[in-house]
């Protein structure tokens, strides 16, 4: 119903016009803001996409070139403006950097980049605990001996989880069967130096370290080295691989992933070395070179 008073009608008309003007202004601002956001995202993508593309080529590079390239990528990521992709890029580079021996300086550059990225843009925790980026950083600190400064509850929680996982691995025991049907029990190997390696035929870093493991097994088996390679694949898949790579150490099958769960394996390859007293003396969170494996075995008394 329209008001009878003409002044009231004019006031309402003016109010409607003002409201329309405000809506038009807000719409125009929203369009401009959206365009600016899209332009910023596009600009970030122009910078980030080449970094991601170069990261995918790292495994094809010679070790010295790969180390230099990894350092350069770490610096490029560190200089990126804060965006939704910065932490994932830094985290991905960290996971690549632990494959093989890229040198302590490279690892430190990568860890610094990841720590600074997390400081700029803290990541949300998952339903099961710390965000994977904090776990990756904690692993670099604990197992690759880099140094970072990050006062964050998730980083502290990730570090505490790694400590607890190592404590449980000290007590773990298992019995698995190899390709020939022989059963192997970890606790029965006291007096030996036991290297437990988790791997798969489809895993490129696993494939790369297998020849080194075989060579080291041949070198040290008479000194008491036992190598147990654990796969969750079936025998039909593993047997041709073993024959092709001429692997002579035991390859065990963990079809139900029960031993993987005992060791809390979240990615492969992973290697654990137990001394003659059954205590865990060394471990690797990724692929290792022959020289790195030898350094780990030296901690168990094999030289």
Is residue 35 assigned to a domain? no
- Note whether 100 and 199 are same-domain residues: no
**Cα–chain center distance at 40:** 29
* Closest by CA position to 287, among listed 187, 224, 200, 166: 200
* Predicted confidence (pLDDT) per residue in 108-158, tens digit: 999 999 999 999 999 999 999 999 999 999 999 999 999 999 999 999 999
* Predicted confidence (pLDDT) per residue in 203-236, tens digit: 999 999 999 999 999 999 999 999 999 999 999 9
- Note whether 147 and 204 are same-domain residues: no
Is residue 231 assigned to a domain? yes
- Note whether 199 and 258 are same-domain residues: yes
Is residue 21 assigned to a domain? no
Tally the residues of the chain: 303
Quote the number of domains for the chain. Answer: 2
What CATH number corresponds to the domain at position 279?
3.40.30.10
- Note whether 280 and 231 are same-domain residues: yes
**Token code pair at residue 250:** 């035991």
Instruction: Fill in the DSSP letter of residue 177.
Output: E
User: What is the H or E stretch that residue 31 is in?
Assistant: helix 6-55
- Note whether 146 and 182 are same-domain residues: no
Is residue 238 assigned to a domain? yes
Task: Report the b/e string of 250-272 with b at 16+ CB within 10 A.
Answer: bbbbbeeeebbebbebeebbbbb
Question: Strands 175-178 and 251-253: what pairing?
Answer: antiparallel
pTM of the model: 0.83
Domain ranges, residue 116:
43-169
- Boundary-marking domain end, from 137, 169, 201: 169
- Note whether 203 and 268 are same-domain residues: yes
């Amino acid at each position: 119903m329209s008001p009878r008073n003409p002044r009231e009608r004019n006031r309402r008309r003016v109010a409607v016009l003002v409201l329309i003007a405000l809506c038009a202004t807000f719409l125009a601002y929203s369009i401009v803001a959206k365009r600016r956001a899209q332009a910023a995202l596009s600009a970030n993508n122009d910078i980030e996409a080449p970094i991601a593309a170069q990261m995918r080529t790292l495994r094809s590079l010679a070790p010295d070139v790969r180390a230099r390239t990894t350092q350069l990528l770490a610096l490029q990521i560190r200089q990126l403006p804060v965006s939704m992709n910065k932490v994932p890029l830094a985290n991905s580079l960290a996971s690549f950097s632990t494959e093989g021996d890229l040198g302590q300086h490279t690892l430190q550059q990568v860890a610094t980049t990841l720590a600074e990225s997390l400081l700029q843009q803290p990541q949300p925790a998952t339903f099961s605990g710390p965000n994977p980026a904090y776990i990756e950083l904690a692993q670099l600190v604990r197992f690759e001996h880099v140094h970072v400064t990050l006062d964050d509850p998730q980083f502290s929680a990730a570090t505490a989880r790694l400590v607890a996982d190592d404590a449980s691995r000290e007590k773990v025991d298992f019995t698995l069967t190899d390709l020939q049907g022989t059963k192997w029990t970890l606790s029965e190997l006291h007096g030996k130096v036991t290297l437990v390696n988790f791997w798969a035929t489809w895993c490129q870093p696993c494939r790369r370290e297998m020849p080194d493991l075989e060579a080291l097994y041949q070198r040290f088996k008479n000194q008491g080295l036992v190598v147990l390679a654990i796969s969750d694949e079936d025998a039909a898949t593993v047997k041709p691989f073993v024959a092709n790579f001429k692997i002579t150490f035991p390859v065990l099958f963990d079809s139900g992933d029960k031993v993987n769960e005992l060791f809390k394996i979240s990615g492969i390859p992973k290697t654990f070395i137990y001394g003659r007293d059954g205590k865990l003396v060394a471990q690797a969170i990724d692929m290792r070179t022959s020289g790195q494996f030898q350094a780990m075995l030296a901690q168990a008394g094999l030289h």
